[in-house]
Amino acid sequence: MTEKRIRDLLDKVAAGRMTPATAFRTLGELPFEDLGFAKIDSHRSLRRGVPEVIFGEGKTAAQLVVIGQRVLASNSNLIITRLGEDKALVVRRKLRGLKYHSDARIGTIVKEPVKTPGHGVVTVLCAGTSDIAVAEEAALCAELFGNRVARIYDVGVAGIHRLTANLESIRAASVIIVVAGMEGALPSVVAGLIDKPVIAVPSSVGYGASMGGLAALLAMLNSCAGGVTVVNIDNGFGAALAATLINRVGIERDGR
């Protein structure tokens, strides 16, 4: 049915009964592929400018292989987040060419790099070395979504001079993603010093009373500096997508 609908759309455009822009929007609403245990949204990149990203945690290696095969069959890039190393080894045996990024816990097969870089650089900061896994999920996803990315790590408020030494680079960014655990103070400090969008990512790093990142989440939601956007605990992917959409505002994609 999908193939017939695509052909019908192309015929309408060729006959002048439909504009290319309308056809492009319609393509983004075509049906998904139902695998029973998963429904593959192969047209998400048409709607949002980025492909569907597969959350690896909680899925079996066998399920990830089948999902990955169908994603690749639709000529989309494959991105699997929260992919543990043991599971990645199993998946790589079936999905040739899968690259495993251990720092970010992400598996990728890139058929064609995204070519919409946005207005400027997305800069990813993290408070401590223990936050790098979440920061790398954000940084790598932002790169896979087509952004130019800069990384500035281990600049937490316990040694504020480490942050201020990098202010010139931070101010040059279009969007800043800030990852922090413990008390989660770093995004508020950064937002008070610059005039760019700040996306805060609470990490689950910290001692007992940090409650697995809840303390940092609540601190970021109560940021003294106004305008800080907060995503869920350890959600580097969500921060990368938000930064990408902000960085692309006003930039037309192919077919739009």
Distance of alpha carbon 59 from alpha carbon 43, whole angstroms: 22
Return the number of other C-beta atoms located less than 10 Å from residue 225's C-beta: 15
Enumerate the β-bridge partners of residue 107: 80, 100
Model pLDDT, residue 23:
78
Domain boundaries, the chain: 1-31, 43-109, 121-248
Domain 121-248 has CATH 3.40.50.1970: yes
Mean pLDDT, the chain, rounded, equals 87
Per-residue tokens: 8: 């019908």
Q: What is residue 255's predicted lDDT score, i.e. its pLDDT?
A: 45
| DSSP class per residue in 217-248 | HHHHHT-SSTT-EE--TT-HHHHHHHHHHHHH
Percentage helix, strand, coil for the chain under 3-state DSSP, each rounded to 5: 45, 15, 40
Q: Is the pTM higher than 0.85?
A: no
Mean pLDDT of 114-143: 92
pLDDT cut 90: percent of the chain above it: 61
Half-sphere exposure of 220 (CA within 13 A, CB side): 28
pLDDT for position 1: 39
pLDDT for the residue 8: 79
pLDDT at 253: 61
**Taking Cα atoms as reference points, which of 136, 96, 130 lies closest to residue 240?**
136
Write phi, then psi, for 32 (nearest 5 degrees): -90, 170
